[in-house]
Amino acid sequence: MKLEERTVAEYHGRPVKFFDLENGHGLRVRLMNYGATLISLHIPDRTGRLEDITLGFDSFEDYLGNNPYFGATVGRYANRIGGARFVLGGQEYLLARNEGPNHLHGGLKGFDKVMWEAGPVSDSRSVGVRFNYLSPDGDEGYPGNLDCQVTYLLNENDELHLAYLATTDRPTHVNLSHHSYFNLAGSRKDNILEHELQIMASRFTPADERLIPTGEIKEVAGTPLDFLKPRSIGQRLKELPAGYDHNFILDSRGELALAARVVEPESGRVMELYTTEPGLQFYSGNFLDGTIRGKGGRPYGRHSAFCLEPQHFPDSPNKPQFPSTVLKPGEIYKSLTVFKFLTV
C-alpha cells in the first residue's frame, strides 16, 4: 500500500493538497482537500489495463470554474430541498437558492467548494485520507455548528470505503453523499449507454418538473426505472426525455448492503456499490452538453458518465413521511459507502 502527499497550489492562503493512494493490485486513487474531492480512480480491465474511470479535471484551478460536482463530497444536504426552506422546531429556515427556487447540494458554497483539513490514515489492510470540516451556524442558512468527517480508505480487496461522521450543537438536517461521475470504459467510449446496471430497489419517489419528490412512493415494476434485473442504461432511456435523475428506495436499509452493480461489457470492468443509506440517486449525465472540457481536453457530452449517489431522500426536511435527516446534539451522524471493483 502506498500513499503520497503533495502541495499543488494555494487557495485563500491555504495549501491545496493532492493525495495519491495505491494498493498492491495497482488500483490508484487521487484525492484533494478542496471539496474532499476524488480526482481520479484508475482500475484495470479484464486484461489488466489501467484506466481512469471518473470525469474531472487535470488541474486544481479547473475545479474552480464550471464544475458539476465532479468527484466532490456534497453537503450539508445532498440533492434538493424544495423552495430552499424547511421548518424545524417550529422555526422556518431559509436556505441559499442555487437551482431556481430550490436548494441543491448544500447551496451556493456547499461542502464541495470549501477547504477541508486533511491527513493520511492507514492500518495493516488499507491506506487513506481523513477530511474534517466545521460548518458554522448559519452556513448557507442551516442551523447549528456541524462538525463533519469523511474518511476515504483503499484496501487490498480493491474496495474504496467512504465513511461519514457528523455532530452538531443544534438540531439541523444532514445528508452527505459522494458525487463521482463514472464511465467504466475509461476513455474508449464517450457514453455509458451500454453499461449494464442493476439497482436493488423495487420502489422510487416520483418527482415534479423541478425534480422535487411529490411525496408519493411507487413501484418500479413496469416503468423505465426497473433495474431489479441487469439491463443497459440506454435500453429504455428514450422513454424519459429528461433522462435518469431519480431517487430509488433501496430494498435493504440500515445495514451495509449491495445497492447497485454496474458492468461495462467491453472492458469487463465491474463496480459494486454498498451503502447504509436508504436511497440511491441515479443520474445519467443529462445536463452535460459538451461545453465542459475535462481531463486531456476531452469534451464531456450528454450521457458521457453516470452518478450513483447514496443518500437520504430529496426534500426529506419537507416530507415527514420520508426517513428523517434531523441530527440533534448528542447524536452522531454515521454513513458508510463502499465501492468494490472487479472484472468479468
Catalytic residues, by residue number, are: 179, 309
Residue 149 neighbours by CB distance under 10 Å: 18
Q: Output the nine-digit C-alpha cell for 113.
A: 467548494
- What is the distance between the terminal CA atoms of the chain, rounded to a whole angstrom? 24
Own/partner pairs, 204-211, CB within 8 angstroms, 24+ separation: 204/246, 204/247, 204/248, 204/249, 205/246, 205/247, 205/249, 205/279, 205/313, 205/314, 205/322, 207/246, 207/247, 207/314, 210/80, 210/82, 210/100, 210/101, 210/102, 211/80, 211/102, 211/245, 211/314
Paired strand residues for 21: 3, 29
Max CA pair span of the chain: 59
Whose grid coordinates read 423552495?
83
